[in-house]
Amino acid sequence: MKDVTIINSGFAYGGFTSGSEGIWTRNEPTDPPAPDYKSLSERLRTPVSHIVQPYQAGGGKAAVVSSENGGSGVIKDSAFKKTDGLVTAEKGLVLSIIAADCVPVYLVDKYAGVVGLLHCGWRSAAGPLLKDAVGLMKGLGSVPGDIQVYIGPHICADCYEVGAEVREVYVHAFTEKELEKIFIARGNSLYLSLSQAIRSKAENEGIPDENISVSEECTCHDPEFYSFRRGDKGRQNLAYIMINTTEQGAENNVPVQNTFKS
């Protein structure tokens, strides 16, 4: 099991974990929460009824979450179908997404009191997901210039070989100058930097470059994380974020692990 602290401030707390079993989903909506979710709720001192997980689809849909959605996807059927992004302004509500090489993107605006969490695969990294999430945050009072973006552990460009058909999709979403940073050619092979694609999308939404941080952790390199590309099937990692209540902010006030670079 491996846990990485992503955000740790008086305002918000977020992390990335493999869990003990790497199983975060249930077979039926009426099944009890997965044991890993129970363990997470204990560590966060938050009941599972305050955690939300969408039914992800690798697309571009984001949604605003409120307290009435607590427990969705964890102890009851999720209210968020084919959804890869969650946004909330409510304290104590834990947003979560599962990933096994895809990118968890954490969005934080402490001034507006809003956070978001996105699941970005190669399609959604090129699509409108980040734009839609920022739009929802703006609707809750956020300003792009105040949003901090944390690109969490994911498969790095050294590991993520893709086909030419992937680049064809990106040609329609990025400028030629952006593509030069997003794709790396080595011999006859092509590699994709998901973090660079997300950075470009964020900057295009008016988020300053200095507000964007990228984790140095690679899920494919590190055997303590689960990686689809490395061959892990049926087990995934979990990303999560919450706006602290006053009590939680005091309890979570511990040093942040320095796993990011600007």
- pLDDT over threshold 80, residue 260: no
Please answer whether residues 254 and 8 qualify as being in contact, where contact means their C-beta atoms are separated by less than 8 angstroms.
yes
- pLDDT over threshold 90, residue 29: no
Please answer whether residues 61 and 38 qualify as being in contact, where contact means their C-beta atoms are separated by less than 8 angstroms.
no
What is the arithmetic mean of pLDDT over 94-99?
98
Please answer whether residues 152 and 3 qualify as being in contact, where contact means their C-beta atoms are separated by less than 8 angstroms.
no
Please answer whether residues 194 and 184 qualify as being in contact, where contact means their C-beta atoms are separated by less than 8 angstroms.
no
**pLDDT at 254 (0 to 100):** 40
DSSP SS3 for 50: helix
In terms of pLDDT, which residue wins out, 258 or 37?
A: 37
What is the arithmetic mean of pLDDT over 36-45?
96
Residue whose entry in the numeric block shows the structure tokens 């999308």: 201
How do strand 12-17 and strand 85-88 relate by DSSP bridges?
A: unpaired
Summarize pLDDT for 176-208 with one digit per residue, the tens: 999 999 999 999 999 999 999 999 999 999 999
Band (259; pLDDT cuts 50, 70, 90): very low
Which tokens in the block code for residue 182?
A: 């997003």
**pLDDT at 59 (0 to 100):** 75
Q: How far apart are CA 109 and CA 51, in angstroms?
A: 20
**pLDDT at 30 (0 to 100):** 86
**pLDDT at 258 (0 to 100):** 35
Buried b (16+ CB within 10 A) or exposed e, 65-91: beeebbbbbbbbebbbeebbbbbbbbb
**pLDDT at 112 (0 to 100):** 98
DSSP SS3 for 44: helix
What is the arithmetic mean of pLDDT over 12-36?
94
Band (110; pLDDT cuts 50, 70, 90): very high
- pLDDT over threshold 70, residue 250: no
Band (247; pLDDT cuts 50, 70, 90): low
Please answer whether residues 190 and 180 qualify as being in contact, where contact means their C-beta atoms are separated by less than 8 angstroms.
no
Which tokens in the block code for residue 169?
A: 């999709």
Which tokens in the block code for residue 61?
A: 């849909």
How do strand 114-120 and strand 103-109 relate by DSSP bridges?
A: antiparallel
What is the arithmetic mean of pLDDT over 40-67?
94
What is the arithmetic mean of pLDDT over 87-95?
97
What angle is formed at CA 22 by the lines to CA 114 and CA 70, rounded to 5 degrees? 35
Please answer whether residues 80 and 117 qualify as being in contact, where contact means their C-beta atoms are separated by less than 8 angstroms.
no
Residue whose entry in the numeric block shows the structure tokens 């077979």: 27
H-type alpha helices, the chain? 35-44, 122-126, 129-139, 164-171, 176-182, 194-204, 246-251
- pLDDT over threshold 70, residue 43: yes
How do strand 94-99 and strand 51-52 relate by DSSP bridges?
A: parallel
First to last CA, the chain: 27
- pLDDT over threshold 80, residue 261: no
What does pLDDT average to over the chain?
93
Band (262; pLDDT cuts 50, 70, 90): very low
Which residue, 100, 98, 117, is CA-closest to 222?
A: 100
CATH superfamily ID and name for 3-155+205-261: CNF1/YfiH-like putative cysteine hydrolases (3.60.140.10)
Residue whose entry in the numeric block shows the structure tokens 């390199």: 221
**pLDDT at 252 (0 to 100):** 53
Please answer whether residues 214 and 260 qualify as being in contact, where contact means their C-beta atoms are separated by less than 8 angstroms.
yes
Which residue, 122, 125, 124, 143, is CA-closest to 134?
A: 143
Band (60; pLDDT cuts 50, 70, 90): confident
Domain boundaries along the sequence of the chain: 3-155+205-261
Q: How far apart are CA 3 and CA 130, in angstroms?
A: 25
- pLDDT over threshold 50, residue 128: yes
Which tokens in the block code for residue 139?
A: 């609707």
- pLDDT over threshold 80, residue 173: yes
